[in-house]
Structure 1
Amino acid sequence: MTPTNPMSALSLLTQHVTRRPQRIALLAQIAQLGSITQAAKAAGMSYKTAWDAIDELNNLAERPLVERSVGGKGGGGARLTGDGERLLALYQRLESLREHMLESLEEEADLELIGRLMMRTSARNQLHGRICGIERHGLNDLVAIELPGGARIQARITRESTEKLELSDGRPVVALMKAGWLYVDLPQIPCPAGLNALEGCIESIHEASGGPSEVRIQLPNGQVLCALTEQERIDILRLNEGDPVRAQFSPAQVILGTPL
């Protein structure tokens, strides 16, 4: 296993939350109120948006930042882990330096450039990991990524992309997959060769009228995947909350991002 570089992972996560101050506000409210429902209201976001934010923060961190319990008083109890408390404290220290940093910018165009470089993504699934191997396949590279806890996935990208992102063993990356790209199956059914496969348990199923349902899958390492699945397939597999499932997807459907 590649040794963890805490500073690289911390740098990646700090860049993310610095661009999303509302999520830091959510962490602060969770620390104070101990309730996801109350914290979401205080931070000015919906309950579902708050859950999505917590999932994304936990997925990007080396270890979960928030521990949750479903069905607690006020719609679900929650508290910050030690890592969450340290990140919140770090952000608050960085915020105190923000004004000094902005004073060093010479033109408003500098802010616009930073904004373009720090674009958000529409991909629902963002998993933090670390490169543990790169194999050449013709004009493409097959990049292996180790997730926290030891599970591995692969991304098939062009060699030009490998060079542009300066990918190498041990480098932290974020793997992005759209929810519609994930195919949900049962663990006992053989997975076709060449596909990525991550097993976990169904955290929740959110039905949608006139479209696919949202199946949230919690992985053993605490990260959460979201898969858009037709209700017909959910019925065929008889899926319910708590059931073990497998999310599978092609390496060609994994987009890689690196910290700036």
Structure 2
Amino acid sequence: MPLPSLLTQHIARRPQRIALLQHIAEQGSITRAAKSAGMSYKSAWDAIDELNNLADQPLVERAVGGKGGGGAHLSEEGLRVLRLYQKLQALQAQVLEVAEQASDLDLLGRMMLRTSARNQLRGRIDEVLAKGRNDLIHLDLGAGLGLQAQITHESTLALELTPGSEVFALIKAGWIELLASAEQATPGYNVFTGRVEQVLDEDDGPAEVRVRLSNGQTLCALVEPLELRQQGVQVDGEVVVAFAPSYVLIATPV
């Protein structure tokens, strides 16, 4: 089965993340792999979550609290991605040969998608519904999970969004609410039940709570320490996350 196009483009533009996969394969530790790849432990977790979200199957399988701060190894899909990247490196050399001048490569680089949004979920458009000046975009995230995004009709036309299109759904971590039950969610919001995978406490700000969804993708929410204690959030515990369709940004590959 061919590697999904969004993941292919992503790894071609972010070689440091492929280096992280390589180090995980060699060392079996997220902490040591992050250090070898020149990344912080937190950045390594962000990278792993993003790669796993983009792939049809997780690339990294991990066990929190393992030797070295978190044991990890590559899945069969992850090993396949590494082999693919070696082929991409060979193709890169050919691209450098055909580029007429250095500015050509700079232009291509500026056209590639990069975003500050922590959550980047890969999905396929099921339906586009007109709602006055706005459109409601229904995305299939796999494993029976669906997501709605509300964007302007002009954006739908500009991005050429149609059923079957593969896109990114971008949600900032600060836009996601952490709830005890689905009944607490605002009507019309996207609501998912997941399991807490990790809680990263910050000394001077909100904690990051990583929630694994039933389709294997991960959402990161920012939660104030008081709220975290009041809700009794614990690793491996079940929680509900919710966010408005208007908080979802849609991006397409170039």
TM range (shorter): over 0.9
Secondary structure in 2 matching 1:91 = helix
Distance in 2 between residues matched to 1:222 and 1:67, nearest whole Å: 11
SS across alignment from 1:233 = helix
* Corresponding residue for residue 39 of structure 1: 33
What displacement does 1:220 show? Answer: 1.6
Q: Does 1:97 align with 2:91?
A: yes
3-state SS in 1 of match to 2:45: helix
Paired AA for residue 133 in structure 1: E
Structure 1: gaps of 5 or more residues = 1-5
CA distance in 2, matches of 1:126, 1:113: 24
* Match 1:49 to one of 43, 47, 52: 43
Matched, 1:130 2:127: no
> Which TM-score applies when normalising by structure 2?
0.95
Match of 2:36, as an amino acid?
Answer: A
- State the match for 1:147 in structure 2: 141
Could you say if the C-alpha distance between residues 212 and 75 of structure 1 is closer, same or farther in structure 2, counting changes exceeding 3 Å?
closer
Indicate yes or no: 2:205 matched with 1:247: no
Q: How far did residue 209 of structure 1 move? A: 2.7
1:217 to 202, 208, 211: 211
Q: Structure 1 residue 171 and structure 2 residue 160: aligned? A: no
Answer whether contact 1:62 1:128 (CA < 8 A) is retained.
Answer: no
The CA RMSD over aligned residues, in Å, is: 1.4
Q: Tell me the residue number matched to 2:6.
A: 12
Q: For residue 157 of structure 1, what is the aligned residue in structure 2?
A: 151
Unaligned runs of 5+ in 2: none
Indicate how the Cα distance of structure 1 residues 247 and 188 shifts in structure 2: closer, same or farther if over 3 A, else same: closer
Write the mapping of 1:180-259 to structure 2, written as runs, cut at 5 A. 180-187=174-181, 189-259=183-253
Give the whole-Å Cα distance in 1 for the aligned partners of 2:231 and 2:47: 29
Flag as ranges the 4+ runs of structure 1 deviating above 4 A. Answer: none
TM-fit CA distance, 1:187: 2.3
The 8 Å contact of residues 176 and 221 in structure 2, kept in 1 or not, is answered as: yes
- State how far apart, in whole Å, the 1-side matches of 2:23 and 2:132 are: 50
User: What letter matches 1:60 in structure 2?
Assistant: L
Distance in 1 of aligned mates of 2:104 and 2:113:
15
* Inter-partner Cα distance in structure 2 for 1:126 and 1:259: 13
- Quick one: which of 15, 25, 45 aligns to 1:21? 15
- Map residues 96-115 of structure 1 onto 2, 5 A cutoff: 96-115=90-109
Calculate the TM-score normalised by the size of structure 1.
Answer: 0.93
Q: How many angstroms apart in 1 are the aligned matches of 2:85 and 2:197?
A: 29
Please say if residues 170 and 248 of structure 2, whose CA atoms lie closer than 8 Å, have aligned partners that are also in contact. Answer: yes
Deviation of residue 166 (structure 1)?
1.2
CA deviation profile, 1:195-228 (whole Å, cap 9, x unmatched): 0111101112222233222111111222111111
- Structure 2: distance between partners of 1:228 and 1:117: 30
In structure 1, how many angstroms separate the alpha carbons of the residues matched to 2:70 and 2:92?
A: 34
More divergent stretch after superposition (28-37 vs 174-183): 28-37
Name the residue aligned to 2:69.
75
> Which range moved further: 108-117 or 128-137?
108-117
Distance 2:41 2:238 in 1: 25
Deviation at 1:188, TM superposition (A): 5.2
Which range moves more in the overlay, 248-257 or 47-56? 47-56
Q: Please, which of 35, 44, 60 is the counterpart of residue 54 of structure 2?
A: 60
Matched to 2:216, the amino acid is G
Aligned length: 254
Deviation at 1:128, TM superposition (A): 0.7
